[in-house]
Structure 1
Amino acid sequence: MELRQLKYFIEVAKQEHISIAAETLHIAQSAVSRQISNLEAELGVQLLQREGRNIKLTHIGKLFAEQAVISLNAIANAKQLIDEYVDPERGTIRIGFPSSLASNTLPRIIKAFKKEHPDVRFHLRQGGYDFLIEGIKKREIDLAFIGPIPKFDSNIHSDILFTENFVALLPNNHLLADKETISLSQLEKERFILFPEGFILRKIVEDACLQAGFQPFIPCEGEDLDAIKGLVSAGIGITLLPELILYENIPIGTVQINIDEPKVIRTVGIITPKHRELSPSEQLFYDFVIAYFSKNPK
């Protein structure tokens, strides 16, 4: 079994079309077909079956494709590890992050790191809470910034970098817009604009509202931060967001109000795999992040 056979097979499985896969791989279609036939002959099973002009994976083909992807990723990681041991300053780090840290925290830390280590490269992947945790477990991401820090996960090592408050974002003509601080109970009758069910920022807000004694009314929800802020600016409702999201970026027509009762907070930190040693480049960045936030909280 050869690496190129696995690469060809995975591309065909992805495209479900041999000619398209061949174009993507920049090789002849006959070469792709021949190598996959050789692979099937060696394994003694049929991996692909034709459906009209398209190709579909057989049941065993699907199982083999999943393991083939894992194998090629492992080989790529091993090659990267060797390259980084030769020169950690020229490694590539796959970093995951949520949208709530995209405009301030992430750019700030990468800018500071690149000043000291200009040749280290980054592959950035934005995603939701579960995506980041699973990405670390499946070795699709090397390190991830996340908030809040996950608890009681035996496969994840977590470090809290800082804690931040949630604040209320209100239209500037709201009756509470001139207040310096408010209690969450004062927003009981409001229309909340939040992320959809399953988003961690929504759960934090809903849990806080329940603690304040009410179930929030949520007539509008959305996955995009700018859209949520825009709806507040348009007077459609109000929202609660981590304060760093609004750092130097409060939408026109809105005001930010602190919440004093109860305090709505989240931990923000970095997660790494617990049962895998970080590569030299990853360790370089991890150590930098821990030291940076010990000197510059938030």
Structure 2
Amino acid sequence: MSADPVAALLPHLRLLVALGEVEHVTIAAAMLGVPQPTVSRTVRRLEQQIGAPLLEPDGRGVRLTPAARTLVPYAQRALDVLTDGLAAVETEGQRARTTVRIAFQTSLGEQLVPELIRTVRADDPTVRFVLSQGARSSCLDSLLEREADIALVSRLDPPPDGVRVVPLFEQELVLLVPEGHPAALAGGAAVVDLASEPLVTLKTGYGLRGSVDELFAEAGVLPSIAFEGEDLHTLTGLVAAGLGVAVAPRTTATPAGCVQVPLADARASRDIGAAVLPAPSSEVVVRVLDALRSLTGPGQADAGVDPGP
């Protein structure tokens, strides 16, 4: 027997299966599209390598030996497994061509992302989305590490190193205060007046936290941070409980127990955009970016599409 009989058999699995089906060298050769002498030589070589005869005379023809009858079902099974594997690869390749991986800031997950998925799938139901949410920094890291195709985040002007930016919309920032707060009664506020206010904000690395830090730096005051959270729901709950105030994106529905107060500061807004890698995007990613532009373009807020809190 050959030192590696498996290696010897692998190139000839179809030949074994064909012989098992017809038990005729000439017909098997025709099925495989090879000359009959080639099949005969291959069979003799395989018999030497596996150390057992595969064919034996049967009148004017041949028949499979017991060893061959034992081996053929295994050869068929191996071919079937390989065929299934190739089909799986083809399916995965097709899935990859129609899959978009989106990393997005948590504040964009309630309205913009679901509306995006609904819009894209209305046009093409085969598009598959893989979603991850988190802080701005983690979303951009996922993009740069090629774990995401699109990062939906704030503060992309100027663009971070290594990414291409598709601008989407500007989002007004307001002061969120509990009902009855003096700023609510006054109908407005400025960041410079918030130095003594307990501030609830997101943790470092989140897009909103970066915007808040920039606002306070521009106003020349230090924030008095009382609590740090990881999502806007936590912030609004803390504000409603009277535990502080928050700088947050304006929403169409004011959170219960809170009042949205305009900020007089000229830079009380943040840009929201889609970051992608500089290399050309796939066709399906381009379609998703087009849908984002359509959803967030001028006039969409008036049409009932809120870009998200």
TM-score (ref. length: structure 2): 0.63
The equivalences for 1:1-298 within 5 A come to 82-83=93-94, 91-149=98-156, 151-243=158-250, 246-248=251-253, 250-275=254-279, 277-295=280-298, 296=300, 298=307
- Structure 2 residue identity aligned to 1:151: P
Structure 1 unmatched runs, 5+: 1-77
**Do 1:208 and 1:262's aligned partners in 2 also have CA atoms closer than 8 Å?**
no
Distance 1:254 1:154, change over 3 A: closer
Question: How far apart are residue 126 of structure 1 and its match?
Answer: 0.5
SS of the counterpart of 1:215? coil
* Distance (Å, rounded) in 2 between the aligned partners of 1:164 and 1:218: 23
- Structure 1 residue identity aligned to 2:203: P
**Do 1:81 and 1:279's aligned partners in 2 also have CA atoms closer than 8 Å?**
no
Superposed CA offset, 1:154-213 (max 9, x none): 421101101111111000021121233322223232100111233332222122123223
Distance 1:256 1:208, change over 3 A: same
* Distance (Å, rounded) in 1 between the aligned partners of 2:159 and 2:229: 29
Structure 2 unmatched runs, 5+: 1-88, 302-306
Identity of aligned residues (%): 26
* Distance (Å, rounded) in 2 between the aligned partners of 1:81 and 1:260: 53
**Do 2:240 and 2:257's aligned partners in 1 also have CA atoms closer than 8 Å?**
yes
TM-score (ref. length: structure 1): 0.65
* Bigger Cα Rg: 2
Distance 1:170 1:229, change over 3 A: same
Over the residues paired in the alignment, what is the CA RMSD in angstroms?
A: 2.3
* Distance (Å, rounded) in 1 between the aligned partners of 2:266 and 2:193: 11
Superposed CA offset, 1:81-115 (max 9, x none): 95269xx6xx1211110111111222222222222
SS of the counterpart of 1:170? strand
SS of the counterpart of 2:181? coil
Partner of 2:73: none
SS of the counterpart of 1:260? coil
Distance 1:119 1:152, change over 3 A: closer
- Structure 2 residue identity aligned to 1:253: G
Question: How far apart are residue 147 of structure 1 and its match?
Answer: 0.6
* Distance (Å, rounded) in 1 between the aligned partners of 2:218 and 2:245: 18
Distance 1:153 1:225, change over 3 A: closer
**Do 2:155 and 2:211's aligned partners in 1 also have CA atoms closer than 8 Å?**
no
SS of the counterpart of 1:178? helix
**Do 1:146 and 1:269's aligned partners in 2 also have CA atoms closer than 8 Å?**
yes
Distance 1:239 1:79, change over 3 A: farther
Matched length = 213
Distance 1:228 1:79, change over 3 A: farther
After TM superposition, the runs of 4+ consecutive aligned structure 1 residues lying more than 4 A away are 78-82
* Distance (Å, rounded) in 2 between the aligned partners of 1:211 and 1:80: 53
**Do 2:153 and 2:207's aligned partners in 1 also have CA atoms closer than 8 Å?**
no
